[in-house]
Amino acid sequence: MTGFLLRRTLNYIVLLLLASFLTFSLASLTFNPLDSLEQRNPRPPQSVIDAKAEQLHLDEPIPQRYLSWLGGVVQGDFGTTLAGQPVSEELGRRVAVSLRLLILGSVIGTVLGVLIGAASAIRQYKFSDYFATVVSLLIISTPIFLLATLLKYGALQINTATGTQVFLYTGETSATQVVGLWDQFVDRAQHLVLPTLALVLGAAAGYSRYQRNAMLDVLQSDFIRTARAKGLSRNRALYKHGLRTALIPMATLFAYSLGGLITGATFVEKIFGWHGVGEWFVDGINAQDLYIVVTVATFAGLVVLVSGLLSDIVLALLDPRVRVS
Amino acid sequence: MTETELIAVGAPEAAAAGRRKLVWRRFLRNKPAVVGAVILLLLLIASFALPPLLPWDYQEMDYKALLKPPSPEHPFGTTQIGQDVLAQTMRGLQKSLVIGFCVAIFSSVIASTAGAVAGLLGGWTDRAIMWLVDLLLVVPAFIIIAIFAPRTKGSGSIVILIILLSVFGWMIAARIIRGLTMSLRDREFVRAARYMGAPTHKVIISHIIPNIASILIIDTTLAVGAAISAETGLSFLGFGVQPPDVSLGSLIATGTKSALTYPWLFLFAGGLLVTIVLCANLVGDGLRDAFDPGARGARKARKDVAEKKDEAQVELKKAEKR
Amino acid sequence: MTASTSTAPLLEVTDLRVSFPGEEGRVDAVRGVNYTVADGEVLAIVGESGSGKSVSSLAVIGLLPEQARVQGSIRLRGRELLGLGDKQMSKLRGSAISMVFQDPLSALTPVYRVGDQVAEALLAHGTMQRKEAAERAIELLELVGIPDARVRARAFPHEFSGGMRQRVVIAMAIANDPALIICDEPTTALDVTVQRQILDLLRKARDITGAGVIMITHDMGIAATIADRVAVMYAGKVVETAPVAELFTAPRMPYTVGLLGSIPRMDGPPRRPLIPIVGAPPAMHDLPRGCSFAPRCPVSIDDCTAAEPPLEKVAPRHSVACIRTAEIGTTQLFDAYRQEIAEPPQQDVTESDVVLRVTDLVKTFPLTSGVVLRRKTGEVRAVDGISFTVRAGRTLALVGESGSGKSTTLSQIMDLVRPQSGSIEVLGNDVATLTKARTREIRRKMQIVFQDPSASLDPRLPIFDALAEPLRIDGRSREEVNRRVPELLRQVGLRPEHADRYPADFSGGQKQRISIARALALDPSLLVLDEPVSSLDVSIQAGVLNLLRDLQAERGLSYLFVSHDLSVVRNLAHDIAVMLRGKIVESGPAEQIFADPRHEYTRSLIAAVPEPVVSG
């Protein structure tokens, strides 16, 4: 058992290393970190540029640079940004911000999606199902940044109509200082409402469709019929036996889509001005900052792998047929 | 099939072309899907046929009309530098549709080849291909594309985008096709063909492909919507289609900044985008229902678990042997 | 349950009609069915696929799909059930009426424990508290024969075998002392020895609860062993009802007679040609005018197509739906069928060449535990050292239940590669020494017919191409292919003009004939058959068995076939090998094995087969 687990973890590590190496090489090849320096007017003396180049190890071959970066990573040092800040600190900060942004929205969105999807399947062909399907399809077809922009627009209208700032939608907290624990909490909440709403809508729409299909499959099953034959009412049988069983395929989906969460976060961060991981890496690419990009890439890869493992675990939890004896 | 299903579905399908006609008829009964298909077709034609008929080219600048709302002269308004938004939107629509369809087709070809070969041959080939799939899933596609695309300018960026999106878009479909092929492999008619002595490639061509064709078609259609969404997202962040060329995504991106004050800059592009993705989804769903009204079609999560369930059942059967 | 003092019968079904939406408009699945069930009585409803037997009982318990339209009357002790809402029906389900379904493997919810699911049946009717219900659930599990019930109640359904799961379902069905138990083919998916146990259990359940039982089955043998009265259904109507003894000794409906005549029997001479019923059960959306059985009936006359015959009494408790029943008696009906086929001369080849020799064959599968983290926890010896021979012109049957290893043996032979251990010799060639060219030649001589005719024909290929495939793979010319395919179709009794149709256009029996034709394409000497008739309707089985027998006589074919159905084996096999858990426990000539089974397992197998004979 441990042998197998070790092999699987080893495989994951190899994949992760390969992926980060690939990103590292590509970024190194295409980025020119000296750009910002060279573009300055007047152009700094060559010695300054050369010094910077040496500082960034630009003369060394790529594999060597990668290995030295890797060496640092093992000790917790993810390199330094072009501006000279240690990447690891910034990473921690940014991840925390992204988490604060995402957690509430995705959890609520998922739960809502599951419930709506299940209810839709049970009420198949009725108006509520039809309505939910149309709305979900519409939301899914709208890119999340468009959705977010529309929400901002709506918030603006409400704010002007009521004359107060009910919705605050720039940044995580207000620019001006807010004192008092309660006021700080309210301030954060006000800033959180819109992005959370955007995430909830997107997640709920997506999950509800998958859940609906999973439910529809399960509803045809024989064991639902057995439950009804025992005397459970139709709805009780469908919810108690059907939903619980239909959650199983959803577990796989949920775990695998953790990866897509980061990408989705990027847009929300950009629109609402939160300084999370997504915004960081977009800025990093634009600034051609190698270590930021590679670190985020590795982080993203790690998330994908962890979510893969998580999906296996969740599957085992939900499906007794799959548990290791 | 339960007796009730047997009785209700029992009508034997008409011969030969009959089955294709049956699928066609079922599709036509699905009104939203038909509407979606028609709209998609119309938009596709319009995006190519309209621009030559318009008075303004998408790059031309009308200095007399800067940032003007919609008017008879410029039905969709103008941008800050006087470009006709209608012409731009049409061009953007064209590019987005081209990207969507190309990516969908290329990734489907890759997915079906990889999936069918892995599923049928098994063993090392299967392991190697699946390992490649895992690798591509871990590699951050977004980041790679983001790094590359801005290096190219104009139409070149579109080609790069198509290639990269295809390379990173086939993995999940390949998994599904592999699963399907594996279950087909054990179906009696494939076994019968193998016992007759048919060579592998013949088995794939005459037995496997026709039976997964429906899934392929459905997946390709849905992939169009997914590809367009992906390209839009990339363009929004500046990593997609590069100027001077435009796509719906890049138009929305530039327009979003002034969305609250000059809505026409992004509204039309946004509306069209939602429309084509919605239509692609409707058509895909409609096709799925038309091919297999009983089943719900293959979905990623379901397939993964279906595979696991199948394997678990095999385990049970072996356990029952004890 | 105390004896009912009400005069109303337990269940009274009058003029029941059920229709479904189909591809081409509504389809009538049940077209005016009448029957009654009394307390403590077992009514067997017998019919083939499409007869409407399952649908009518689903209507009684109210579990038809939403799109179904139901008309008529269903009265439980005088209370009308049709038109009751889900809430009211739910109160009756599981307490007054309960049901046991066909497929035990999918009948239980996979994510809840077995004990909880049984307790749910009790809790759903509010009769007791949680703890009490849990205790009673364990008692019920013991009652139905689950060993170690207290521990097993905490297990999940996938940890039980099919037979055990069916016992659990029965436990749920009797939990609340129902007045009526409906069993829909409860044993079809089970092994024959398990089947016998379940039937005994059902009888016991009836004795304990005093309930009336409706037993739906296609197996006349089951009807004969367990029923008090029998109703025969065909094309959505009841065509004959009678007390069980009368039905089997003096059936009056031509369909019933045809059924009885076409079943392979354990009594009577072995390998005797059966008397099939011509044609196939009608498609429900396209019924013939008048009597729906008329196209297949040997005694039909013009008047039969005028109108559907009503169910009429011919004896105090015996009703028949046939306009000619007054003039034609039982013996005449049997004779009418016998005239339809000619008895070919029986010629049994005795000493002949060995076509297939298997020696000490072994095949093991690695067991991996869990799907999440795969690891090898041991192995299964699916085939554990077996040896047998098949001789030219003779049939060897491999008999066994699920898990015996018989299907694995077949695939080992068909693979034509060196076995894991032991040797396989086909037509004198050791499989281990085959070259590619030789393998091709052998493949020509050895072909396979699978169990499920729907799965063995590619649904996307017209049958011309399906039949042509082996010829084309062998490199035959186009003219030859065009010549051979119609020939093959004729040989199996099908019309060559239909060669451009798709498999979906044919009935199960016809598809199986096509599979046989495909197997014959290259003129093989050995045919391997995996449960060739198990998926077919009873009345169709006979035709296919006769065909196989005729082909063997004409062309000197050898058959290696696998079956779990001993009556079929008796009808076809010259030699038998009985397999149990990967080993052959007894083998020899068929007559010897049937007359004097030595091994205990063989004896239990033979004893477990329900005979369509009513004694006394």
> 3-state SS of A81-128?
CCCCCEHHHHHHHHHHHHHHHHHHHHHHHHHHHHHHHHHHHHCCCCHH
How much is the average pLDDT of C531-541?
83
Q: What is the pLDDT of residues C307-324, one digit of tens each?
A: 888 888 888 889 998 888
Q: What is the pLDDT of residue C529?
A: 92
Strand pairing category for C429-430 and C583-589: unpaired
Q: Does B146 touch chain A (CB under 8 A)?
A: yes
Length in residues, chain B: 322
The DSSP output letter for C325 is T
Q: What confidence tier does B314 reach under pLDDT thresholds 50, 70, 90?
A: very low
Instruction: Give CA separation, C470 vs C445, C454, C473, C475, C481, in Å.
Output: 12, 18, 5, 9, 10
- Determine the residue among B134, B143, B285 to mutate to test chain A binding: the one whose Cβ has the most chain A Cβ atoms within 10 Å: B143
Instruction: Give CA separation, C310 vs B36, B209, C34, in Å.
Output: 53, 52, 11
Identify whether the C-beta of residue C396 lies closer than 8 Å to the C-beta of residue C577. Answer: yes
Whether residue B189 and residue C22 make contact (CB cut-off 8 A), yes or no, is no
Q: What is the pLDDT of residue B253?
A: 80
Nearest to C403 by CA among C179, C140, C190: C190
Question: Is B262 a residue whose pLDDT tops 80?
Answer: no
Angle of CA points B27, B33, B38, to nearest 5°: 105
Location of structure tokens 């596709």: B44
Q: What confidence tier does C128 reach under pLDDT thresholds 50, 70, 90?
A: confident
Whether residue B197 and residue C402 make contact (CB cut-off 8 A), yes or no, is no
Whether residue C158 and residue A320 make contact (CB cut-off 8 A), yes or no, is yes
Q: Which of C63, C107, C372 sits opposite A322 (nearest CB)?
A: C372
Least confident of C324-338, C368-382, C416-430: C368-382
Nearest to C203 by CA among C190, C213, C216, C193: C213
Q: Which of B135, B139, B274 sits opposite A142 (nearest CB)?
A: B274
Torsion-angle region of residue C35: left (phi > 0), alpha (psi -120 to 50) or beta? beta
Residue A17 amino acid letter: L
Q: What is the pLDDT of residue A9?
A: 76
Centroid of chain to Cα C274 = 17
Whether residue C505 and residue B13 make contact (CB cut-off 8 A), yes or no, is yes
Strand pairing category for C42-46 and C229-234: parallel
Residue A69 vs residue B224, higher pLDDT: B224
Q: What confidence tier does C528 reach under pLDDT thresholds 50, 70, 90?
A: very high
Identify whether the C-beta of residue A320 lies closer than 8 Å to the C-beta of residue C111. Answer: yes
Question: Is B19 a residue whose pLDDT tops 80?
Answer: no
Whether residue B6 and residue C500 make contact (CB cut-off 8 A), yes or no, is no
Q: What is the pLDDT of residue C342?
A: 59
CB atoms within 10 A of CB C303: 13
Question: Is B309 a residue whose pLDDT tops 50?
Answer: no
Chains near C (3 or more Cβ pairs under 8 Å): A, B
Q: Does C126 touch chain A (CB under 8 A)?
A: no
How much is the average pLDDT of B276-289?
85
Nearest to A278 by CA among A188, A136, A144: A144
Question: Is C370 a residue whose pLDDT tops 50?
Answer: no
Residues of chain A falling short of pLDDT 70: 1-5, 33, 36-37, 56, 82-84, 165-169, 171-178, 255-256, 259, 322-325
Q: What is the pLDDT of residue C158?
A: 85
Q: Which of B188, B193, B320 sits opposite C161 (nearest CB)?
A: B320
Q: Which of C98, C169, C373 sits opposite A4 (nearest CB)?
A: C373
Q: Quote the percentage of chain C above a pLDDT of 70.
A: 94
| Closest CA–CA distance from residue A181 to any residue of chain B (Å) | 33
Whether residue A245 and residue C111 make contact (CB cut-off 8 A), yes or no, is yes
Q: What is the pLDDT of residue B10?
A: 39
Q: What confidence tier does C137 reach under pLDDT thresholds 50, 70, 90?
A: very high
Q: Does C364 touch chain A (CB under 8 A)?
A: no
Q: Does A306 touch chain B (CB under 8 A)?
A: no
Q: Helix A181-219 to helix B300-321 angle, to the nearest 10 degrees?
A: 60
> 3-state SS of C150-175?
HHHCCCCHHHCCHHHHHHHHHHHHHC
Q: Which of B142, B239, B278 sits opposite A137 (nearest CB)?
A: B278
Chain A, residues 195-224, CB within 8 A of chain B, namely 210, 213-214, 216-217
Strand, coil or helix: C97: strand
How much is the average pLDDT of C465-492?
87
Question: Is B197 a residue whose pLDDT tops 70?
Answer: yes
Chain A, residues 97-136, CB within 8 A of chain B, namely none
How much is the average pLDDT of C60-86?
90
| Closest CA–CA distance from residue C557 to any residue of chain B (Å) | 18
Q: What is the pLDDT of residue B302?
A: 34
Identify whether the C-beta of residue B76 lies closer than 8 Å to the C-beta of residue B84. Answer: yes
Q: Which of B8, B197, B308 sits opposite C371 (nearest CB)?
A: B308
Question: Is B208 a residue whose pLDDT tops 60?
Answer: yes
Q: What is the pLDDT of residue C136?
A: 93
| Closest CA–CA distance from residue B2 to any residue of chain A (Å) | 10
| Closest CA–CA distance from residue B37 to any residue of chain C (Å) | 24
Whether residue A229 and residue C374 make contact (CB cut-off 8 A), yes or no, is no
| Closest CA–CA distance from residue A42 to any residue of chain B (Å) | 25
Q: What confidence tier does C50 reach under pLDDT thresholds 50, 70, 90?
A: confident
Chains near B (3 or more Cβ pairs under 8 Å): A, C
- Determine the residue among A130, A141, A210, A318 to mutate to test chain B binding: the one whose Cβ has the most chain B Cβ atoms within 10 Å: A141
Whether residue C373 and residue A230 make contact (CB cut-off 8 A), yes or no, is no
Question: Is C578 a residue whose pLDDT tops 80?
Answer: yes
Residue C56 vs residue B302, higher pLDDT: C56
In sequence order, the 6+-apart residues with CB closer than 8 A to the CB of A7 are none
Q: Chain B contacts of A266, Cβ < 8 Å?
A: 237
Angle of CA points C11, C242, C542, to nearest 5°: 115
Q: What is the pLDDT of residue C373?
A: 47
Q: What is the pLDDT of residues B72-112, one digit of tens each?
A: 777 777 777 777 778 888 888 888 888 899 999 999 989 98
Q: What is the pLDDT of residue B11?
A: 38
Whether residue B281 and residue A137 make contact (CB cut-off 8 A), yes or no, is yes
Residue B21 backbone dihedrals phi, psi, to 5 degrees: -65, -35
Q: What confidence tier does C376 reach under pLDDT thresholds 50, 70, 90?
A: low
- Determine the residue among A9, A124, A226 to mutate to test chain C binding: the one whose Cβ has the most chain C Cβ atoms within 10 Å: A226
Q: What is the pLDDT of residue C397?
A: 93
Q: Which of A18, A143, A216 sits opposite B233 (nearest CB)?
A: A143
Least confident of A240-254, B52-66, C222-236, C242-256: B52-66
Whether residue B281 and residue A141 make contact (CB cut-off 8 A), yes or no, is yes
Q: What is the pLDDT of residue C44?
A: 95
Whether residue A231 and residue C91 make contact (CB cut-off 8 A), yes or no, is yes
Q: What is the pLDDT of residues B131-162, one digit of tens each?
A: 888 888 888 787 788 877 777 766 677 888 88
How much is the average pLDDT of C583-590?
91
Max CA separation in chain B (angstroms): 87
The alpha-helical segments, DSSP class H, found in chain A are: 2-30, 35-39, 46-55, 62-74, 87-122, 127-141, 144-162, 181-219, 222-230, 234-237, 244-256, 258-272, 277-286, 290-318
Residue C49 amino acid letter: S
